Homo-oligomer: A and B are copies of this chain.
Amino acid sequence: MTETPTAPVPLRWVGPIRVSGNAVTGEIEVPLATYESPLWPSVRRGARITRLVDDGLRTTVVDERMSRSVLFETTGAEHALRVSLELADRMHEAREVVSSTSRFARLIDVHHQIAGDLLFVRFEFSTGDASGHNMATLASDRLMGWMLETWPDLAYESISGNYCSDKKATAVNGILGRGKNVVTQMRIPRAVVEKQLRSTPEAIARLNTRKNLVGTILAGGLRSANAHYANMLLAYYLATGQDAANIVEGSQGITQAEVRDGDLEFSCTLPNVIVGSVGNGKGLGFVEENLDRLGCREDREPGANARRLAALAAASVWCGELSLLAAQTNPGELMAAHVKFER
């Protein structure tokens, strides 16, 4: 029995998607690696629709940061409070500690939680074109050392206190930010909805409210209201060498659909797209090739390639989300598609 050295996940390029916005403008194909073959035609159908509207899919990166929360034991809440206040006064020192760890890491914000005598400090960094997991861990390691020296009554408890939070279903990432926060939106003309999606703006808007909003709330969903963001993100992350376990928080996004002047206003908000164009996993040959073809290895200011990569991830999600929702407005269509594409 010989050892298989890789898991070669089937990959297809789909699109192009027509996008415009503050991170990428143009018509770009996206690579999706998946064992679930119906995903490709689903995204393809959405991509086709983006090309039927002048500006295509409007895609906006509204925030970017990577976080790591460290955990200290203090002598009590009053001590924890004092440290947190003094830390706020010494942010310039903290920033210097971070800058010394990397050319790209910058400390942009700090939040904390005090519970009993525990002090959780959530450091938030900009990390250039890297997704930033390791850069954040290294910087936090140094920050922790600096804090233990500065406030000797603190005791080390953990380099990660789960208030980060990495690859877990939590609320903090959507509220304080982690990864790229990307909004994609398009006004789809009624005729396009009817012809391309065999549905209506009214049916899609109503289904979105009843299924993605009400249905997810009934399921006890957490900052989540969508049909299947996780599918597109996984396929895109695998194709581009990302740490794909970050689809856990990536799956927590919100689809909105409203009828406006008879047309369909359809948007996907993804607060936690965690991708990088450099860093761990990006040295593999096929990954480099895919990033090149996406135009995410160009000579740009630090961060611009990663924002482009994130915007295209979100655009892929929008295409697949629209397509599945439209299919579900018609009895039997989803089942027929699975039969067709998987057998």
Contact = CB atoms under 8 A, between A and B. Distances in A.
A4 B290 contact: yes
A124 interface: no
Interface residues of A, number: 125
Contact of A334 (B137, B168, B269): B137
Contact of A162 (B10, B141, B219): B219
Interface in A7-36: 7-13, 21-22, 31, 33, 35-36
Contacts of A69: 215
Contact of A77 (B183, B210, B217, B233): B183
A118 interface: yes
A11 B6 contact: yes
Ranked nearest first, the 3 interchain pairs of A and B with the lowest CB-CB distance are A171-B220, A169-B169, A162-B215
6 contacts: A10-B284, A35-B284, A161-B211, A170-B216, A175-B176, A230-B248
Interface of A: 1, 3-13, 21-22, 31, 33, 35-36, 58, 60, 62, 69, 71, 76-78, 80-81, 84, 111, 113-118, 120, 134, 137-138, 141, 144-145, 156-172, 174-176, 181, 183, 185, 206-207, 209-228, 230-231, 233-234, 238-239, 241-245, 247-248, 251-252, 254, 256, 258, 265, 267, 269, 280-281, 284, 286-287, 289-290, 293, 328-329, 331-332, 334-335, 338, 342
